[in-house]
């Protein structure tokens, strides 16, 4: 299931057995009273990584990050930074800086003083601080704004100041707590690329916490999908999207059709899944460990489903249904096709021509089809 | 553009100020320019409403600045003013030292406790101010509860003399005016974003540095408001120094009372009041400008 190196880029320290992680969570558990926020979690993060913690609110991702910053201590287990247990190190002594979701800029200080705030607490000589502040201001393209106060600049600019302030001390590790959540969509997308550029330029290890899967997919070298204080899957964005290891991940990342069924026959690389009486079985690639008779789930992304008026002759799978709904998204349209047993399959079709006439409309009888390798059989 | 509703809205506060501040002040100013006399009321000249223009002209010709010159010549008065301002300044400092930790603890307490704590701060106002100050006589006297407790516990061998000294005045003032210091500071501290303190720690501050570099500067509007709210009334305070202070406690409020009720010299008493107001107007203007600036900063 591992993608070849050229698809993930050359930077894959997590597959190198000799690489030493900069951060290592070892059996970390964090409890707040009766509530277990982090449940016996182990995770390695490598230097220069842009690592995303992704999950719904309450999944423990923020707690995990706050433990890295030092605002929470693990109930049990160890967190190693550069081979050292950092549990007894208070937040102000860690080579870790954090960018807060609220930005937490000091309202009584100018932008330059905000950025200098951490430097003044470090052992940097006074004469060098001004130069470093200018350097950080130009990194985030705010050179002219140094003497302004936070309330005199826009939300996007505040976000950049917060980033500059967190980076000013050249931390070994930068934590970003929902850094783009307060920005509007367009600005958010621009800023995502800016963040990646800055990370690449500085080579600092970034750990970002987000509930926005698109953001995680865009910026991160690896994504950890979390649920109920545990890691569900840790992999590159491509692997997470194309090879989710469970229904939860498949459903959480992007749009997916999930079809519940049972394995009717399993060979070395093919499985036949029966899922509804009177409808054709689904032919798919067999995952490891699937046995005949097992309950399983067939997952397929809408963009991998084709739609046609006539039954395609060459498709491995073709199912009849009728168009229930059409969603026009501009660059593509989503068709909701209801199959005979009421199961709804979403199919996405790119709008390659300007919309003069739709090939199918509401209540049309159509066929949805997909190849045997387009989808994935999930047993978890 | 004439807008009767807007006019009415403006009229309410302005007529309040006019009838309850400016008119009484005009009367006091008029008396301060008059001379003391054995009559009812005890000053001349008096305005004869039936005398027409001639009476008004006569009234103004009777005015002089004699009382103000008297104030400047007798050093009792300016000593009392200075001593009042000094006692007020020390009281402000003491109230701040006691009040800030209280406000801080209130703002840091859990949200369910805050209304209760707020209530406890305001609670003393439900009892008469006079009774509360009288109660301190019972506590601070040489046979008072405080001395009894200290003697019993063996900390001291002889009763401390607190009552009828400036110490008792400071205790009374700090006790009475504490809520005026606590409430505005609490209001600013309660709004303080906890993320800011975590950010300060994250950037290398110890807890104390974070307090000094973030919490204190951000609570400055509350500190300034509290200081003025204590300073302005304490300068003219009369009840506390006369009940708890001794003969050496010199405060202008006490002088004012004596002039009015012991000497029955209304014109001099009025002159004392007019000068007191002029002294207080400076901090009041400063206070209002500060409030305005704080409001602008918030927008």
Q: What is the pLDDT of residues B185-223, one digit of tens each?
A: 999 999 999 999 999 999 999 999 999 999 999 999 899
**Whole-angstrom distance, CA of residue B107 vs CA of residue B190:** 5
The span from the CA of A138 to the CA of A127, in Å, is: 18
Distance set, CA B137 to CA B126, B145, B150, B246, B287 (Å): 20, 10, 16, 12, 33
* DSSP string of A74-119, one letter each residue: -SEEEEEETTEE-TTS-GGGSSEEEE-TT----TTS-HHHHHHHHH
> What confidence category does residue A6 fall into, taking pLDDT thresholds of 50, 70 and 90?
very low
Residue A250 CA neighbour count, 13 Å, CB half: 22
The region, left, alpha or beta by phi > 0 then psi within -120 to 50, assigned to residue B265 is beta
B216 and A CB contact within 8 Å: no
Q: Which is it for strands A205-210 and A173-177: parallel, antiparallel or unpaired?
A: parallel
What is the per-residue pLDDT across B265-291, written as a single tens digit (0 to 9) for each? 899 999 999 999 988 888 788 888 887
Contacting residues of A for B202, CB less than 8 Å apart = 69-70, 91-92, 96-98, 118, 166
Q: How far is B104 from chain A (nearest CA, A)?
A: 19
Question: What are B222-281's pLDDT values in tens digits?
Answer: 999 999 999 999 998 989 998 998 888 889 998 999 898 888 889 999 999 999 998 888
**What is the topology classification, in CATH, of domain B68-298?**
MetI-like fold (1.10.3720)
A84-114 burial: b if 16+ Cβ within 10 Å, else e: eebeebebbebebbbbbbbbbbbbbbbbbbb
ipTM of model over 0.85: no
Tell me, rounded to whole angstroms, the distance of Cα B159 from its chain centroid. 31
Classified as helix, coil or strand, A273 is: strand
Helix, coil or strand: residue A361:
coil
Q: Given the structure tokens 């393209």, which residue do they identify?
A: A141
Residue A2 pLDDT greater than 50, yes or no: no
Per-residue pLDDT tens over the stretch A98-126: 999 999 999 999 999 999 999 999 989 99
Give the distance from residue B222's alpha carbon to the nearest chain A alpha carbon, in angstroms.
14
Cβ-defined contact of A121 to B198 (cutoff 8 Å): no
Chain A: nearest CA to B150, how far in angstroms? 43
Q: Calculate Rg over the CA atoms of chain A.
A: 25
Euclidean distance between CA atoms A51 and A123, whole angstroms = 29
CA A258, chain centre distance (Å): 20
Tell me whether residues B200 and A117 touch, CB distance under 8 A: yes
How confident is the model over A306-316, as a mean pLDDT?
A: 89
Q: List pLDDT tens digits, range A35-57.
A: 999 999 999 999 999 999 999 98
Task: Give B7-18 pLDDT, tens digit per residue.
Answer: 888 888 899 999
Give the separation between CA A281 and CA A276, rounded to whole angstroms.
8
Alpha-carbon gap, residue B225 to A371, rounded angstroms: 74
Instruction: Pick the residue of A68, A72, A92, A132 with the most B CBs within 10 A to test the interface with B by mutation.
Output: A92
Residues of A with CB under 8 A from a CB of B: 69-71, 90-93, 96-98, 100-102, 104, 106-108, 117-118, 121-122, 151, 165-166, 169
Enumerate the residues of chain B whose CB falls inside 8 A of the CB of residue A166.
202
Interface test with A, best of B192, B197, B202, B299 (most A CBs within 10 A): B202
> How many other C-beta atoms are found inside a 10 Å radius of the C-beta of residue A318?
17
Question: Does CATH place domain A5-95+171-250 in 3.10.129.10?
Answer: no
Contacts of A97 in chain B (CB under 8 A): 202-203
Domain boundaries, chain A: 5-95+171-250, 255-378
- Whether domain A255-378 has CATH 3.40.50.2300: the reply is no
């Amino acid at each position: 299931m591992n993608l070849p190196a050229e698809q993930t880029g050359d930077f894959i320290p997590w597959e190198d057995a000799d690489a030493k992680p900069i951060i290592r969570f070892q059996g970390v558990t964090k409890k707040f009273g009766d509530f277990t926020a982090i449940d016996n979690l182990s995770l390695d993060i490598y230097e220069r990584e842009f690592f995303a913690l992704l999950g719904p609110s309450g999944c423990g991702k923020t707690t995990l990050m706050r433990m890295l910053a030092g605002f929470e201590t693990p109930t049990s287990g160890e967190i190693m930074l550069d081979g050292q247990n950092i549990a007894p190190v208070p937040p102000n002594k860690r080579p870790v800086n954090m960018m807060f979701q609220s930005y937490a800029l000091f309202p009584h200080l100018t932008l330059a003083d905000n950025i200098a705030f951490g430097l003044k607490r470090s052992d940097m000589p006074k004469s060098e601080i001004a130069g470093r502040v200018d350097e950080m201001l130009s990194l985030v393209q705010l050179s002219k704004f140094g003497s302004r106060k936070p309330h005199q600049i826009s939300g996007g600019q505040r976000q950049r100041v917060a980033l500059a302030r967190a980076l000013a001390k050249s931390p070994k590790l930068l934590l970003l707590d929902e850094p783009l959540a307060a920005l509007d969509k367009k600005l958010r997308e621009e800023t995502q690329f800016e963040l990646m550029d800055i990370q690449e330029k500085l080579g600092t290890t970034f750990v970002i916490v987000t509930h926005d899967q698109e953001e995680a997919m865009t910026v991160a070298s690896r994504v950890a999908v979390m649920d109920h204080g545990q890691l569900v899957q840790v992999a590159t964005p491509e692997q997470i999207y194309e090879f989710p290891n469970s229904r939860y991940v498949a459903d959480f990342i992007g749009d997916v059709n999930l079809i519940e069924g049972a394995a009717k026959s399993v060979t070395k690389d093919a499985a036949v899944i029966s899922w509804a009486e009177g409808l054709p079985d689904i032919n798919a690639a067999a995952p490891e460990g699937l046995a005949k008779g097992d309950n399983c789930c067939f997952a397929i992304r809408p963009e991998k489903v084709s739609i046609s008026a006539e039954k395609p002759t060459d498709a491995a799978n073709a199912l009849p249904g009728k168009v229930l709904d059409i969603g026009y998204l501009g660059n593509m349209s989503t068709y909701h096709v209801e199959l005979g047993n009421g199961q709804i399959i979403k199919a996405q079709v790119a709008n390659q021509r300007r919309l003069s006439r739709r090939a199918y409309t509401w209540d049309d009888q159509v066929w949805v089809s997909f190849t045997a390798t387009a989808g994935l059989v999930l047993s978890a | 553009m004439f807008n009767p509703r807007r006019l009415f809205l403006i009229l309410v506060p302005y007529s309040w100020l006019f009838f309850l501040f400016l008119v009484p002040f005009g009367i006091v100013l008029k008396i301060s320019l008059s001379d003391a006399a054995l009559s009812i009321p005890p000053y001349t000249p008096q305005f004869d409403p039936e005398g027409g223009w001639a009476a008004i002209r006569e009234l103004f010709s009777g005015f002089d600045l004699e009382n103000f010159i008297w104030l400047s010549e007798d050093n009792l008065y300016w000593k009392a003013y200075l001593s009042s301002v000094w006692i007020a300044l020390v009281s402000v400092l003491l109230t701040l030292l006691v009040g800030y930790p209280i406000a801080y603890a209130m703002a840091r307490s859990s949200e369910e406790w805050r209304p209760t704590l707020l209530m406890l701060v305001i609670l003393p106002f439900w009892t008469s101010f006079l009774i509360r100050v009288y109660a301190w006589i019972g506590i601070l006297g040489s046979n008072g509860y405080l001395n009894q407790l200290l003697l019993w516990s063996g900390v001291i061998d002889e009763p401390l003399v607190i009552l009828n000294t400036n110490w008792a005045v400071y205790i009374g003032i700090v006790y009475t005016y504490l809520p005026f210091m606590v409430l505005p500071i609490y209001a600013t501290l309660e709004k303080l974003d906890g993320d800011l303190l975590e950010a300060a720690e994250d950037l290398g501050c110890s807890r104390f540095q974070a307090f000094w570099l973030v919490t204190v500067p951000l609570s400055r509007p509350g500190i300034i408001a509290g200081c003025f709210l204590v300073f302005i009334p304490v300068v003219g305070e009369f009840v506390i120094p006369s009940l708890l202070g001794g003969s050496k406690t010199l405060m202008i409020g006490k002088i004012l009372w004596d002039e009015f009720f012991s000497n029955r010299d209304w014109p001099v008493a009025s002159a004392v009041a007019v000068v007191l107001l002029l002294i207080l107007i400076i901090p009041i203007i400063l206070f209002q400008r500060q409030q305005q600036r704080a409001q602008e900063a918030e927008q």
